[in-house]
């Protein structure tokens, strides 16, 4: 029993529970990746805010600066920087498509009607459409990453 | 603000972000070759076109509101108590204001600042 006397189990696993894959199904993996990719994208966006600010000379700049932009280009415009961008595109597209799936399910648009719980105890609410959308998200993300790879590495060799 | 409204904001910004980020990526890798897209002259012309500048500012606001509100949701899932909620909500607002402010500064300086070598 908890200190509040409710008898409910405490949320002891917290966000670290995301990293425990025991008994995960596809939807659970999608849940974890939605959050992990969300945090990764936000970190990238904050970094991108920082690097684009060098277009105006960085934090102390006063206007468009050729030297500031060349400086930031010399750091990020290389194979490693482009590989990071390919990964960003990969997670961005997965996050976007999976996010649309989550919105559709939040508003009940892709749910099956709930029914009695019977063996083999699979949740009927998780329609095959949801599973397809997760795979569609993965496929679109991979295709977008290949596209980014071609765009970014074109002419580098 | 009610949690239900904040979740609606999260979904609305998600849908708008999908559209805006798609346009941003098309501008960076489809309309022009990537090397042209990131050239100083091209970026300057984008910032100094009113419509594009408005687009970039909208992208900035929508993505940062969605991103930090997402972090807020994760932090609320992680731990629940009234003081924690207040600090997380306050931190979210401050993070959005600071990051949107910094990004907006770049947009304003790019539009109105003098070009230097």
> Are B104 and B60 within 8 A, CB to CB?
yes
From first to last of its 117 residues, chain B has per-residue pLDDT tens of 788 899 999 999 999 999 999 999 988 878 888 888 889 999 999 999 989 999 999 999 999 999 999 999 999 988 889 999 999 999 999 999 999 999 999 999 999 988 887
If one looks up domain B3-112 in CATH, what number appears? Answer: 1.20.1300
- CA-nearest residue to B109 within chain A is A63
Q: What pLDDT does residue A8 have? A: 61
Distances (CA, A) of A70 to A56, A73, A80: 11, 5, 17
Confidence (pTM): 0.87
Rounded to 10 degrees, the C-alpha dihedral A105/A107/A113/A114 comes to: 80
Q: What pLDDT does residue A129 have? A: 77
**Can you tell me which residue has the tokens 């939040």?**
A106
Does B29 contact chain A (CB < 8 Å)?
yes
* Domain limits, chain A: 24-153
Q: What pLDDT does residue A126 have? A: 67
Fold of A24-153: 3 helical TM bundles of succinate and fumarate reductases (1.20.1300)
Q: What pLDDT does residue A28 have? A: 83
**Nearest-CA distance B51 → chain A (Å):** 19
* Domain limits, chain B: 3-112
Of A29, A155, A140, nearest to A92 by C-alpha is A140
The kind and range of the H/E element at B2 are none
**Nearest-CA distance A119 → chain B (Å):** 31
> Are A15 and B70 within 8 A, CB to CB?
no
Kindly list the averaged pLDDT for each block of 10 residues, start to end, along chain A of length 157: 57 69 79 93 96 93 91 90 94 95 85 74 70 91 94 71
Distances (CA, A) of A103 to A27, A98, A126, B9, B21: 14, 9, 14, 12, 18
Q: What pLDDT does residue A157 have? A: 44
Q: What pLDDT does residue B34 have? A: 86
Please report the sign of the dihedral spanned by the C-alpha atoms of residue B22, residue B76, residue B87, residue A16. negative
**Nearest-CA distance B53 → chain A (Å):** 14
Give the distance from CA A40 to its chain's centroid.
7
Contacts of B48 in chain A (CB under 8 A): none
């Amino acid at each position: 029993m908890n200190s509040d006397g409710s008898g409910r189990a405490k949320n002891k696993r917290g966000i670290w529970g995301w990293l425990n894959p025991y008994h995960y199904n596809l939807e659970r993996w999608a849940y974890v990746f939605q959050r992990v990719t969300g945090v990764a994208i936000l970190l990238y966006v904050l970094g991108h805010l920082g690097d684009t600010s060098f277009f105006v000379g960085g934090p102390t700049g006063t206007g468009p600066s050729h030297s500031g932009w060349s400086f930031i280009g010399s750091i990020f415009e290389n194979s490693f920087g482009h590989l990071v961008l390919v990964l960003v595109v990969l997670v961005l597209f997965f996050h976007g498509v999976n996010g649309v799936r989550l919105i559709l399910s939040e508003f009940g648009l892709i749910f099956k009607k709930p029914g009695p719980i019977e063996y083999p105890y699979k949740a009927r609410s998780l329609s095959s459409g949801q599973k397809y959308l997760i795979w569609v998200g993965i496929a679109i993300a991979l295709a977008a990453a290949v596209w980014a790879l071609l765009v970014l590495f074109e002419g580098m060799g | 603000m009610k949690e239900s409204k904040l979740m609606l904001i999260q979904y609305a910004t998600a849908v708008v972000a999908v559209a805006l980020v798609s346009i941003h990526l098309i501008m960076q890798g489809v309309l022009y070759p990537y090397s042209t897209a990131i050239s100083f002259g091209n970026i300057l012309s984008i910032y100094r076109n009113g419509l594009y500048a408005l687009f970039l500012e909208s992208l900035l606001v929508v993505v940062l509101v969605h991103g930090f509100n997402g972090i807020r949701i994760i932090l609320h899932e992680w731990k629940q108590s009234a003081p924690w909620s207040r600090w997380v909500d306050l931190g979210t607002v401050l993070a959005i204001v600071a990051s949107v402010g910094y990004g907006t500064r770049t947009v304003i300086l790019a539009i109105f600042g003098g070009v230097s070598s």
